[in-house]
Amino acid sequence: MRSPLAYTPRPGPLQAASPGAAVAYLGALVTVAFLYSSPLVLCGAGVAAVLAGRLASATRAVRAAVKLGLLIALPIVVVNALVVDRGATVVARLGEWPLLGPVEVTAEALADGAVFGLRALVAMVAFAVYSACVDPDRVLRALRPLAARSALTAALVSRLVPVAAADAARLRDAARLRGPGAAPVGKAPLARRLLAGSLDRAVDVAATLELRGYSLDHPRIRRATGGFSRPGRGELATRRSRFDRRFYATGATVLLIAIAGELLGADAFRAFPTIEVGLAPATLAVAALIALAGLAPLRRKPRCRSTPVATAPGARPLGAPGA
Amino acid sequence: MIRRRGTAIAGALLALLAVAGCGLGPGDDVGSVELTVTRDFGAEPMLQRSVGDVAESDTVMRVLERNAEIETRYGGGFVHSIEGIEAEDRGGPRDWFFYVDGVESPVGAADYPLEGGERIWWDRHDWGATNHIPAVVGSWPAPFTDGYGGRSYPVAVECRGGGDACATVRERLGAAGVEPASGSPPRAIRVLVGPWARLRSDPAAAQIESGVEESGVFAEFEREGSGYRLMGLDPEGDAVRDFGPGAGLVAATRRYEAPPVWVVTGAAAAGVRAAANLLDATGLRDRFAVAVEAGEAIPLPLERGG
């Protein structure tokens, strides 16, 4: 079974966009989450990330990220409530605890922790959308001119880890198929077998790389013509997507809105000494606009053409001589 | 069967939590506290209010947060500013310090629980001379009335050649509702009354001669012939004023963890009498220590340059 966060090729603007554009777009949402403390704006960024994931057909990834994010957010809220003794509204007195002393849970500490948790949740969803929609091979290709050896290592890791996971699944299946009477197989023997298999494969991969000339000084890229050289400007240009501009523009707009909102005091949230959530027009506007940024991966319906592509037999197309 | 056992365990846990002082909400109402905020050793009052509805979960920090606009640092445990007046480093380090019932707290404001009736005093002052002022007189009649730190202490008036001034001190304490113990019981809050030449043999009072770093009292007694002269110090700890021969001093200090010791003293008997007459809320309110010269109460420390 594939991980819900694993990249799955699907048709869609976010998948088609270049990695840089997708990172700019999703990174802008994460930046907002770390820049703001206002729960409204954080919810706006969260809505945008979820919307982007759904529109990019990464619903499973979003769902998994929300579950995982909540699992992380909950301990953040609990720990914050236990260790932060500030806040005017005591909701529970938990007596004396070793190391912590008197523990009093305040509504303000809970709200403060919830904001931290919400921030983690938004970042998690945005990362899940990135992971499910951005082709890691394209990311590596984009990085290759900057750090060839690191890109090669990352490429190998990204290929070999799923293969090792598949090996593990096969080994477990094999162990189960021995029947209910067979002695259970411990994790250590499984891990040993897995490690041995991985090392064998690593030796094979190393030999293949050697044969392909990867041990030479400058790693080379095979061109479509069959020779070895760096890709030309034209080749890079063809990898750009017509959706890039949309995602770069949305990311930049989100950042501009976030910065303008900060300057206008839209980040109006204070947990201590009492909870104050700003509901000023600027805050509402920033939250709404950032939530709308989630529509960027929306696939537009193809425009109706003014000239019909196919016409009835015998009929002449409009605009043709004599029509 | 298993469900019954689970219910029993849950009930026992809840009972245990209740016995351990746990519960929902802020807890019972414990009464009211006095909150005072000043600057520069009490010279500039900023806030003076009686705060009601103090709950058993309240701390010094919570009461301050509810009644003043504050900013904190270091995870909320350190007060950086109150009503926009910030701690600062320019021109001598200035920070916010707090005293409860006239005694410097050994714990942070967020860890100081309240039991009702306390007098909380926040003051932002220059701590270039000392950052340890163990006791102050500005919360009179605390700590004599209800003790400090959640405990009551007996009050002992030790008359060491104070003459009439001792009776005045007893009378002022009585007027504040304090019945001094006879003799000097152990762990008592002591009031030493007498000329400095007699008081200086007491180990706690002798800290005043060791300097402000030791005693937290911005005053010194300098030997002059067979007697002493009272010198007033500025916030830097420099002697800037030589009080006259009839000057008196009311100050509080503390040695280690022992209860505070107040000194009602002077270079001569006239000074001791004048100091004893200062013992009331009017004469001592929001003062760290007070000198008296020619009937005029002079708060200590003195301003720079005297």
Cβ–Cβ < 8 Å for A80, A73: no
CA distance A51 to A234: 34
Report chain A residues whose CB lies below 8 A from the CB of B62. Answer: 87-88, 273
Residue B38 β-bridge partners: B45, B123
Nearest-Cα residue of chain A relative to residue B65:
A273
Mark yes or no for CB contact B113/A273 under 8 Å.
Answer: no
Mark yes or no for CB contact B24/A91 under 8 Å.
Answer: yes
From the candidates A80, A83, A91, A93, which should be mutated to test the interface with B, based on the most B CB atoms within 10 A? A93
Cβ–Cβ < 8 Å for B299, B41: yes
Q: For residue B244, what pLDDT band results from cuts at 50, 70 and 90?
A: confident
- Residue A306, in any domain of the structure: no
Half-sphere exposure in the Cβ direction for B83 (13 Å, CA)? 14
Question: Which range among A229-243, B158-172, B240-254 shows the weakest confidence by mean pLDDT?
Answer: A229-243
Cβ–Cβ < 8 Å for B191, B168: no
Mark whether A167 and A188 lie in a shared domain.
yes
Look at residue B45 in the predicted model and tell me its pLDDT.
95
Mark yes or no for CB contact A96/B27 under 8 Å.
Answer: no
Total residue length of chain A: 323
For residues A74-85, average pLDDT: 93
Report chain A residues whose CB lies below 8 A from the CB of B35. Answer: none
- Cα torsion B242, B245, B247, B251: sign: positive
Give whole-number Cα distances, B84 to A162, B128, B243, in Å. 58, 22, 36
Q: Which of B189, B190, B134, B142 is CA-nearest to residue B162?
A: B190
Mark whether A256 and A123 lie in a shared domain.
yes
Look at residue B53 in the predicted model and tell me its pLDDT.
87
Residue pointed to by tokens 């007070």: B290
User: Which of A92, A95, A272 is opposite residue B24, by nearest beta carbon?
Assistant: A92
Mark whether A280 and A206 lie in a shared domain.
no
Mark whether A133 and A153 lie in a shared domain.
no
And the tokens for A56?
Answer: 């990019």
Mark whether A171 and A219 lie in a shared domain.
yes
Mark whether A96 and A181 lie in a shared domain.
no
Mark yes or no for CB contact A89/B26 under 8 Å.
Answer: yes
- 3-class DSSP state for residue A201? helix
Would you tell me how many other CB atoms lie within 10 Å of the CB of residue B196?
26
Q: What is the DSSP string of B48-99?
A: EEEEEEEETT-BHHHHHHHHS-EEEETTTTEEEEETTEE-B-TTS-EEEEEE
Mark yes or no for CB contact B27/A272 under 8 Å.
Answer: no
User: Which of A84, A87, A91 is opposite residue B25, by nearest beta carbon?
Assistant: A91
Name the residue ranges covered by the structural domains of chain B.
Answer: 29-126, 155-300
Mark yes or no for CB contact A95/B20 under 8 Å.
Answer: yes
Assign residue B268 a region (left: φ > 0; alpha: ψ between -120 and 50; beta: otherwise): beta
Mark whether A123 and A75 lie in a shared domain.
yes
Measure A274 CA to nearest chain B CA, in Å.
8
Cβ–Cβ < 8 Å for B241, B232: yes
Res B190 pLDDT > 80: yes
Question: Which range among A40-49, A185-194, A219-228, A293-302 shows the weakest confidence by mean pLDDT?
Answer: A219-228
Q: Among the residues of A271-314, which ranges form H helices? A: 281-292
- Cα torsion B123, B125, B131, B136: sign: negative
Look at residue A220 in the predicted model and tell me its pLDDT.
52
Give whole-number Cα distances, A145 to A148, A220, A291, in Å. 6, 10, 35
Cβ–Cβ < 8 Å for A297, A52: yes
The angle subtended at Cα B106 by Cα B101 and Cα B111, nearest 5°, is 90
Q: What is the residue range of A170's domain?
A: 148-229
Q: For residue A100, what pLDDT band results from cuts at 50, 70 and 90?
A: confident
Residue B36 β-bridge partners: B48, B121
Count Cβ neighbours within 10 Å for each residue of B108-120 and write b for 16 or more, e otherwise: bbbebbbebbbbb
| DSSP annotation of B265 | E
For residues A110-139, average pLDDT: 94
Domain count, chain A: 2
Cβ–Cβ < 8 Å for B70, B98: no
Report chain A residues whose CB lies below 8 A from the CB of B27. Answer: 90, 93
Res A237 pLDDT > 50: no
Residue B98 β-bridge partners: B122
Mark yes or no for CB contact A90/B27 under 8 Å.
Answer: yes
CA distance A266 to A287: 9
Mark yes or no for CB contact A88/B62 under 8 Å.
Answer: yes
Look at residue A323 in the predicted model and tell me its pLDDT.
33
Measure B11 CA to nearest chain A CA, in Å.
16
Continuous segment of H or E residues that includes residue B154: none
Would you tell me how many other CB atoms lie within 10 Å of the CB of residue B91?
8
Mark yes or no for CB contact B22/A86 under 8 Å.
Answer: no
Mark whether A152 and A41 lie in a shared domain.
no
User: Which of A86, A104, A274 is opposite residue B57, by nearest beta carbon?
Assistant: A104
Give whole-number Cα distances, A45 to A54, A125, A193, A282, B193, in Å. 14, 10, 45, 15, 70
Residue pointed to by tokens 């019932």: B101
- A249-253, B16-20, B150-154: which has the highest mean pLDDT? A249-253
For residues B212-221, average pLDDT: 95
Phi first, then psi: give them for residue A102, nearest 5 degrees: -70, 125
Look at residue B176 in the predicted model and tell me its pLDDT.
94
Task: Please determine, looking at this structure, whether the domain spanning B155-300 carries the CATH number 3.30.70.
Answer: no
CA distance A270 to A174: 57
Cβ–Cβ < 8 Å for A149, A140: no
In chain A, how many H helices and how many E strands? 11, 4
Measure A79 CA to nearest chain B CA, in Å.
14
Mark yes or no for CB contact B57/A94 under 8 Å.
Answer: no
From the candidates A85, A91, A112, A116, which should be mutated to test the interface with B, based on the most B CB atoms within 10 A? A85
Look at residue A269 in the predicted model and tell me its pLDDT.
92
Mark yes or no for CB contact A84/B62 under 8 Å.
Answer: no
And the tokens for B111?
Answer: 């860890």
Q: For residue A75, what pLDDT band results from cuts at 50, 70 and 90?
A: very high
User: Which of B26, B70, B76 is opposite residue A84, by nearest beta carbon?
Assistant: B76
Q: Which of B242, B114, B116, B259 is CA-nearest to residue B192?
A: B259
Estimate to the nearest angstrom the gap between the alpha carbon of A179 and the chain centroid. Answer: 41
CA distance A118 to A140: 31
| DSSP annotation of B232 | E
Report chain B residues whose CB lies below 8 A from the CB of A84. Answer: 75-76
Measure A27 CA to nearest chain B CA, in Å.
29
Query: B29-39 and B119-126: which strand pairing?
Result: parallel
Cβ–Cβ < 8 Å for B39, B125: yes
* pLDDT tens per residue across span A130-169: 999 998 888 878 887 888 888 888 878 877 877 888 888 8
> Which residues of A make CB contacts under 8 Å with B?
84-96, 101-102, 104, 272-274
* pLDDT tens per residue across span B97-134: 999 999 999 899 988 999 999 999 999 999 999 999 99
Torsion on CA atoms A290, A296, A298, A301, rounded to nearest 10: 120
Mark yes or no for CB contact A96/B21 under 8 Å.
Answer: yes
Nearest-Cα residue of chain B relative to residue A83:
B75
From the candidates A84, A86, A270, which should be mutated to test the interface with B, based on the most B CB atoms within 10 A? A86
Look at residue A221 in the predicted model and tell me its pLDDT.
52
And the tokens for A141?
Answer: 């290709």
- Residue A180, in any domain of the structure: yes
Mark yes or no for CB contact A95/B65 under 8 Å.
Answer: no
Quick one: CATH architecture of B29-126?
Beta Complex (2.170)
Torsion on CA atoms B192, B194, B196, B197, rounded to nearest 10: -120
Query: B44-55 and A276-277: which strand pairing?
Result: unpaired
Query: B189-193 and B155-159: which strand pairing?
Result: parallel
Residue A101 β-bridge partners: A97
Mark yes or no for CB contact B65/A96 under 8 Å.
Answer: no
Counting residues of chain A whose pLDDT is more than 90, the rounded percentage is 53
Report chain A residues whose CB lies below 8 A from the CB of B111. Answer: 85, 101-102
Mark yes or no for CB contact A95/B21 under 8 Å.
Answer: yes
Look at residue B16 in the predicted model and tell me its pLDDT.
67
Give whole-number Cα distances, A244 to A16, A83, B73, B111, B167, in Å. 8, 45, 44, 55, 91
From the candidates A91, A104, A276, which should be mutated to test the interface with B, based on the most B CB atoms within 10 A? A104
